[in-house]
Amino acid sequence: MNNKNVPAALNFIGEPLAELNKLKCRMLEICNNNTRLWLHYNFLGYNDYLAARHLLFNKFSFVGIIMVCTAIEKYFKAALAVKNQKAKQLHLDRLSEFFKILKKNGVKLEDKVDGSFMELLSNVYKLRYFDNVQQGKGVSYGFFVNQIICEMDYIINLIEYSIEMKTSSGKDLKSNYKKDFEEGNLLVCDRNYLAEKIDKKEFMEKGSFIYIIRVMDDGHIMEMNSTRELYTKYNGKICLASMSDLQKAKN
């Protein structure tokens, strides 16, 4: 198996996990405190990002959208780490508080991201926990999978290229994302509008499968995926999918 295009974080065949941990420890030894914290969240966030892409492309949509939540949460925390700030107990279900602490520390992301996308993630994040599922009986959330991946790609790229990190000796510290994006690694660049240099609106309006999560009255979660792609318009905000959209995609 050729592991040339597999990022270091996933290259368990060529680089055993123990070796990866040693590498991470060596990196920590040469970094100052805020760089260490950034490295920690960036390392975890990037793995979640790759997992989210893989899961959503392969119709593991519920776990996939949860991984989108955790990836973006960790990248937000990585952005705070650059300011030497921590937000350990803060998660996307408390989105307004998250944006408030980001803004307070000079990280102005709220105006640069799609509010509808972030609100969807905030709501879906709550479904990670059984108690929240019980409280959310009767609710449903639907989306066009292509648009979710596209918006996630945009946010991760935005944060990655807004931050330049250096070691304590002044050397540039390039993240795995930047290496893989610039080398055209398909785990990052496959169907990525930024890598393919496609206009975002054009990409968002491509055909997409639909996914709907519905919390039933008895508390269990029903998942519904469309069997064919549907087209929708994009005007700067993701389109939320409904049961009628799902019916259209079946007809």
Spatial contact of 176 and 7, defined as CB atoms under 8 Å apart: yes
Report how far residue 135's alpha carbon sits from residue 84's, in angstroms, rounded to the nearest whole number: 36
58-104: pLDDT as tens digits: 999 999 999 999 999 999 999 998 888 887 788 998 899 999 999 99
Report how far residue 215's alpha carbon sits from residue 135's, in angstroms, rounded to the nearest whole number: 10
Please report the pLDDT score of residue 20 as a whole number. Answer: 43
Report how far residue 53's alpha carbon sits from residue 137's, in angstroms, rounded to the nearest whole number: 28
Angle at 44 between CA 150 and CA 172, to 5 degrees: 90
Higher pLDDT, 25 or 41: 41
Report how far residue 124's alpha carbon sits from residue 187's, in angstroms, rounded to the nearest whole number: 24
DSSP letter for 234, please. Answer: -
Please report the pLDDT score of residue 133 as a whole number. Answer: 59
Please report the pLDDT score of residue 13 as a whole number. Answer: 32
Nearest one of 68, 225, 59 to 142, comparing CA atoms = 225
Whether residue 5 has pLDDT greater than 80: no
Contacts of residue 191, Cβ cutoff 8 Å, sequence gap at least 6: 57, 146, 149
Nearest one of 232, 157, 227 to 189, comparing CA atoms = 157
Higher pLDDT, 202 or 214: 202
Q: What percent of the chain has pLDDT over 70?
A: 82
3-class secondary-structure state, position 76: helix
Whether residue 195 has pLDDT greater than 70: yes
- HSE of 219, CA atoms in CB hemisphere, 13 A: 8
Average model confidence (pLDDT) across the chain: 83
Q: What is the mean pLDDT of residues 109-138?
A: 82
Where residue 15 falls among pLDDT bands split at 50, 70, 90?
Answer: very low
Q: What is the mean pLDDT of residues 140-155?
A: 96
